[in-house]
């Protein structure tokens, strides 16, 4: 583990209590209102390649009780490791499955959701939170999000998540109440994707909706038949 | 002769405790209705007086927030006044009694009558977070029942009510099903308030300090009060209007007004009552000015002059 020297010593929050509160409130609102960006206005200069917003999320939420996993790009930087360890006291772990917070420097370097802690049926809260730096990430297309926190449905551009993400997310969502929650950190905002959010391709959404409706009707018919036969 | 002044961290709790509460809150929001255990700390009030709510508020409040605290709908009870003063002192937050001006509303036993908005957070003080506790005393067992989504016990209890009384007799802390998955105790709010939780635009957070649990309902989430097809959930209803502000469709408190057993029914939400009354009086003085020859005696205002002073005393 690298040590902190005056050369790689960059400060944390300027006003630790207030900055942590502001960042947390943004993250709380982000998870409460999925896919709606919540502004994070904090001055922070973490060592590259760690972004300012993702750095702020780490400082606000992590401490010695939360093992962290860093992706290769972040792990390769001794300054980043030293900065996180110095300011939070968090332990950096080798296996993503052991981490409470999983930090990825880009959407493509995030580990597969199936490799992360997803909690148990009795303790679904003991699951990992995946924090992804999605600064300047290209959009992956039109998605439709629905679930708690979203009035009706919301359109979302996907923030550069890899092409197989939708399949992974579908599996993660279907595990409810188990599952991983995602926080996406953009330049000056955070965006939440809790396990309750259902994501579908916007093009297939209408088709699926019709399909669901059909299924529901069929189920109702079956139930009626059951009632009659009983 | 004053001793050294004790300086607390902003928001009273230390940062480590806040992070523990905050992480629990985030998981609570991600799993609507699930009770997340947390390390409940001591706050300067006895357990059972709202320590869970205070810890949740302390972990989310900042200097930009405006806090409202209600106790049974009232802004002016001891507990509500003390908690408001506490956060003014330790968090530098502004406080208000107006529902529409508050960003955080900490509550014991009521949801305000004024509709909540997107930028508000409700914080509930919860005495017993486990809806199945009186049906199954073992924590290990209730956890498993939640994991298996096995809520038969609760339905049997509701059924027994119907068999015994002809209707579901629970009128407060009426169990709800959140997001079609977890049965949750909404804290001892009257069943009158249950429909307000359904698809509420505000984020709702629940803190149980003594029982060390935190849970949440995100905004725009389905919250269904349990019932049966033939005996659906029926919230409490009130026939008469409030005797002070004449509001209808609000939750009323029965207030004793003399030694002869005289009672009056008034809004439990003091802020709503005051504002409705002020608006009505303004309206009335305007109409009085426009036709001055009409006498301005109002039988209702006259009638309630004495009780009002008694209520406020």
| Residue B31 clears pLDDT 60, i.e. is over it | yes
| Residue B18 clears pLDDT 60, i.e. is over it | yes
Residue B272 has a pLDDT of 95
**Which residues of chain A make contact with B61, given a CB cutoff of 8 A?**
21
Q: Give the residue among B207, B33, B52 at the shortest CA–CA distance from B131.
A: B33
**Which residues of chain B make contact with A24, given a CB cutoff of 8 A?**
18, 22, 59-60
- Average pLDDT of chain A is 87
Distances (CA, A) of A186 to A55, A75, A103, A134, B153: 11, 20, 14, 5, 46
Window A:40-99, CB contacts with B under 8 Å: 60-63, 65-66
| Residue B309 clears pLDDT 70, i.e. is over it | no
Q: Name the residue in chain B with its Cα closest to that of A182.
A: B30
Average pLDDT over residues B43-69: 93
Q: Is B242 a catalytic residue?
A: yes
Q: Taking every pair of C-alpha atoms in chain A, what is the biggest distance, in angstroms?
A: 80
pLDDT in tens, A137-181: 666 678 999 999 999 999 988 878 888 899 999 999 999 999 999
Question: A177 preceded by cis ω (within 30°)?
Answer: yes
Instruction: Judge: A125–B147 Cβ closer than 8 Å, yes or no.
Output: no
Q: Is B262 a catalytic residue?
A: no
Residue A157 has a pLDDT of 86
Asked whether residue B89 is domain-assigned, the answer is yes
- Domain finish residue from B190, B225, B260: B225
Q: Is B33 a catalytic residue?
A: yes
User: Do B65 and B139 fall within a single domain?
Assistant: yes
DSSP H/E element including A193: strand A189-193
Average pLDDT over residues B220-245: 94
User: Do B130 and B279 fall within a single domain?
Assistant: no
DSSP secondary structure string, B174-195?
A: --EEETTTEEE---S-BGGGHH
User: Do B181 and B263 fall within a single domain?
Assistant: no
User: Do B151 and B78 fall within a single domain?
Assistant: yes
ipTM of the complex: 0.89
Q: Give the residue among A174, A225, A165 at the shortest CA–CA distance from A201.
A: A165
Average pLDDT over residues A12-37: 95
- Of A140 and A207, the one with more pLDDT: A140
Average pLDDT over residues B218-240: 94
Asked whether residue B8 is domain-assigned, the answer is no
| Residue B111 clears pLDDT 60, i.e. is over it | yes
| Residue B276 clears pLDDT 80, i.e. is over it | yes
Q: Give the residue among A174, A215, A216, A213 at the shortest CA–CA distance from A197.
A: A174
- Average pLDDT of chain B is 90
| Residue B26 clears pLDDT 50, i.e. is over it | yes
Q: Name the residue in chain B with its Cα closest to that of A192.
A: B30
Question: B96 preceded by cis ω (within 30°)?
Answer: no
Q: Name the residue in chain A with its Cα closest to that of B9.
A: A17
| Residue B305 clears pLDDT 80, i.e. is over it | no
User: Do B184 and B271 fall within a single domain?
Assistant: no
């608006």: which residue's tokens?
A: B279
| Residue A76 clears pLDDT 60, i.e. is over it | yes
| Residue A11 clears pLDDT 70, i.e. is over it | yes
Read off the pLDDT band of B16 (50, 70, 90).
very high
- For CA atoms A9, A15, A21, A26, the dihedral sign is negative
d(CA B177, CA A62): 32
Window B:148-167, CB contacts with A under 8 Å: 148
Q: Name the residue in chain A with its Cα closest to that of B27.
A: A125
User: Do B203 and B136 fall within a single domain?
Assistant: yes
Instruction: Judge: B22–A125 Cβ closer than 8 Å, yes or no.
Output: no
pLDDT in tens, A176-199: 999 999 999 998 999 999 999 999
Average pLDDT over residues B199-211: 96
Residue B304 has a pLDDT of 44
User: Do B42 and B189 fall within a single domain?
Assistant: yes
Could you list the residue range(s) of the whole structural domain that residue B257 is in? 252-312
Asked whether residue B29 is domain-assigned, the answer is yes
Average pLDDT over residues A10-25: 94
Strand pairing category for A129-133 and A181-185 = parallel
Asked whether residue B245 is domain-assigned, the answer is no
- Of B4 and B207, the one with more pLDDT: B207
User: Do B220 and B260 fall within a single domain?
Assistant: no
Read off the pLDDT band of B144 (50, 70, 90).
very high
User: How many domains, in total, are found in chain B?
Assistant: 2
pLDDT over 70 percentage in chain B: 91
Residue B132 has a pLDDT of 96
Residue B292 has a pLDDT of 59
DSSP H/E element including A154: strand A153-156
| Residue B186 clears pLDDT 80, i.e. is over it | yes
- CA of B226, closest CA in chain A: separation in Å? 19
List the beta strands (DSSP E) in chain B.
36-37, 66-71, 94-95, 104-108, 121-125, 176-178, 182-184, 203-208, 213-217, 223-225, 252-256, 263-267
Read off the pLDDT band of B231 (50, 70, 90).
very high
Residue A140 has a pLDDT of 67
User: Do B119 and B205 fall within a single domain?
Assistant: yes
| Residue A208 clears pLDDT 60, i.e. is over it | no
Q: CATH number of the domain at A16-203, please?
A: 3.40.50.11310
Residue B299 has a pLDDT of 43
Residue B104 has a pLDDT of 97
pTM of the predicted protein model: 0.88
User: Do B105 and B167 fall within a single domain?
Assistant: yes
User: Do B24 and B161 fall within a single domain?
Assistant: yes
User: Do B32 and B78 fall within a single domain?
Assistant: yes
Asked whether residue B123 is domain-assigned, the answer is yes
d(CA A113, CA A180): 7
| Residue A223 clears pLDDT 90, i.e. is over it | no
**Which residues of chain A make contact with B59, given a CB cutoff of 8 A?**
24
List the beta strands (DSSP E) in A82-134.
101-104, 129-133
């Amino acid at each position: 583990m690298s040590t902190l020297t005056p050369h790689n010593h960059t400060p944390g929050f300027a006003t630790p209590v207030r900055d942590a509160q502001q960042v947390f409130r943004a993250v709380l609102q982000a998870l409460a209102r999925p896919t709606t960006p919540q502004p994070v206005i904090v001055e922070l200069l973490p060592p590259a390649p760690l972004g300012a917003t993702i750095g702020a999320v780490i400082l606000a939420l992590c401490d010695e009780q939360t093992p962290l996993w860093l992706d290769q790009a972040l792990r390769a930087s001794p300054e980043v490791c030293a900065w996180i360890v110095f300011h939070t006291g968090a332990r950096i772990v080798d296996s993503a499955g052991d981490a409470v917070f999983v930090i990825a420097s880009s959407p493509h370097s995030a580990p597969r959701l199936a490799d992360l802690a997803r909690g148990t049926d009795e303790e679904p809260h003991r699951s990992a939170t995946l924090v992804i730096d999605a600064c300047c990430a290209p959009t992956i297309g039109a998605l439709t999000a629905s679930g708690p926190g979203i009035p009706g449905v919301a359109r979302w551009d996907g923030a550069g998540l890899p092409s197989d993400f939708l399949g992974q997310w579908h599996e993660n969502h279907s595990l409810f109440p188990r599952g991983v929650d995602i926080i996406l950190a953009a330049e000056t905002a955070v965006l939440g994707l809790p396990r309750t959010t259902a994501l579908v391709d916007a093009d297939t959404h209408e088709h699926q909706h019709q399909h669901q409706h059909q299924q529901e009707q069929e189920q109702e018919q079956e139930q009626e038949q059951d009632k009659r036969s009983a | 002769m004053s001793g050294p002044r004790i300086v607390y961290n902003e928001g009273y709790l230390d940062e480590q405790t806040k992070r523990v509460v905050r992480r629990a809150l985030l998981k609570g929001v991600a799993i609507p209705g699930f009770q997340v255990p947390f390390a409940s700390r001591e706050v300067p009030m006895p357990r059972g007086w709202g320590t869970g709510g205070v810890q949740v508020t302390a972990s989310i409040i900042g200097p930009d927030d405006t806090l409202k605290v209600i106790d049974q709908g009232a802004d002016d009870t001891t507990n509500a006044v003390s908690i408001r003063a506490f956060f003014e002192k330790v968090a530098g937050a502004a406080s208000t009694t107006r529902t529409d001006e508050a960003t955080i509303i900490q509550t014991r036993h009521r949801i305000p009558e004024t509709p909540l908005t997107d930028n508000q957070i409700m914080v509930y003080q919860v005495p017993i977070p486990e809806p199945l506790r009186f049906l199954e005393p073992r924590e290990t067992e209730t956890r498993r029942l939640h994991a298996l989504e096995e809520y038969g016990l609760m339905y049997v209890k509701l059924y027994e009510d119907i068999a015994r009384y002809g209707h579901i007799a629970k009128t407060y802390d009426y169990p709800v099903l959140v997001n079609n998955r977890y049965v949750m105790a909404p804290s001892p709010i009257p069943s009158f308030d249950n429909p307000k939780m359904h698809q509420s635009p505000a984020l709702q957070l629940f803190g149980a300090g003594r029982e060390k649990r935190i849970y949440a309902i995100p905004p725009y989430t389905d919250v269904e009060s349990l019932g049966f097809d033939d005996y659906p959930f029926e919230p409490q209803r009130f026939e008469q209007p409030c005797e002070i502000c004449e509001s209808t469709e609000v939750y009323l408190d029965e207030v004793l007004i003399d030694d002869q057993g005289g009672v009056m029914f008034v809004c439990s939400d003091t802020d709503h009552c005051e504002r409705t009354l002020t608006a009505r009086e303004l309206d009335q003085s305007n109409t009085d000015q426009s036709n001055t020859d009409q006498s301005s005696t109002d039988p209702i205002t006259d009638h309630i002059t004495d009780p009002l002073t008694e209520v406020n005393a």
